[in-house]
Amino acid sequence: MFKVGDIVARRSHQQDIFFHVDKIHENSKGRGSAILKGLNLRLLADAPVSDLIVKRPIEVANYEREDNKMIYQKLNKLTSQRKIELDNKGEFFEIPGRVLQLDGDEDYLSQCIKTYRQMGIEAKGICKSEMEQPKVIRKILQENPTDILVLTGHDGFISGKKDFHSMDSYRSSRYFVESVLEARRFQHNRDALVIFAGACQSNYEAILSSGANFASSPRRMLIHAFDPVFVVERIAFTPTDQIVSVKDILTHTITGTDGIGGVETRGQMRRGYPRSPY
């Protein structure tokens, strides 16, 4: 009845979140289960096939329309703020921080990179699974100098687990922690390399302790696919002589303080003078 790529929801969760079916497994008794990836949330979950319902195209369109409306509102607010900042820059020109994003989800990565570039941020994206990221991050950093590093994909607090501190309770958090540790061995200074790491329900405390500047998820909440973009935009366009306001940066995200948190960090934008008329 189901196939990989179907868009489904879970009956047991009142069909609140739409997912892509990523994998389907059958046990010896013929009872299937599926691995699910959030359609707009960085959540990895599993569910019995019997709990799933395929969503009709009109339902998917309505779901995506509401999501796009929310993204547009956030982007419009950022764009308006940037316009005010640009009007006040006078004869100076600006070089925003560069971004390198490793993402376990190719679709999300493509959308994020497109949005960075629309904002005027130099960005490169590399699709690597959460498990692969710790193994390749040092080599990638050596080959791709950057100011801001984003390590994300999908995660989730495993159903039935109770220990919020144990890495065994999370699907991908250990990989984000290992990746941040490797990145910090390459560049230990949190202002020379700003790191955002995590996904839905990630082990926030462990990721920050490993050296990230921003991480998810303080209250083990779901985070939106674009939340890293909104965090990065503020860092990339804050001058290097200023500290990014953590509270301010989180007001621009969709999830807010329940899903994202961080530490005081210097901005990554450099001003230049004079501005060329050409």
Cα–Cα distance for residue pair 203/226, rounded to 1 Å: 19
Question: Which tens digit of pLDDT belongs to each residue from 8-17?
Answer: 999 999 999 9
Specify the pTM.
Answer: 0.91
Question: Which tens digit of pLDDT belongs to each residue from 107-138?
Answer: 999 999 999 999 999 999 999 999 999 999 99
pLDDT of 28 higher than 60? no
Note the pLDDT of residue 2: 84
pLDDT of 149 higher than 90? yes
* Rg for the chain, CA atoms, rounded: 20
Cα–Cα distance for residue pair 201/220, rounded to 1 Å: 4
Single-letter residue type at 3: K
Per the prediction, the chain carries an average pLDDT of 93
Strands laid side by side in the 261-262 sheet: 123-127, 99-103, 148-152, 194-197, 214-215, 261-262
Q: Cis omega (within 30 of 0) on the bond before 218?
A: no
pLDDT of 105 higher than 80? yes
Give percent of the chain above pLDDT 90: 82
Determine the average pLDDT of the residues in 136-155: 98
Beta bridge partners of 194: 148
| 8 Å CB contact between 94 and 274 | no
pLDDT of 29 higher than 70? no
Helix, strand, coil in percent for the chain, rounding step 5: 35, 25, 40
Higher pLDDT, 118 or 180: 180
Determine the average pLDDT of the residues in 142-157: 97
Nearest CA to 236 out of 152, 79, 84, 122 is that of 122
- For domain 74-272, the CATH superfamily is Response regulator (3.40.50.2300)
Give me the residue spans of the domains in the chain: 7-55, 74-272
Determine the average pLDDT of the residues in 66-81: 86
Q: Helix crossing, 133-143 with 173-186: angle to 10°? A: 30
Note the pLDDT of residue 89: 67
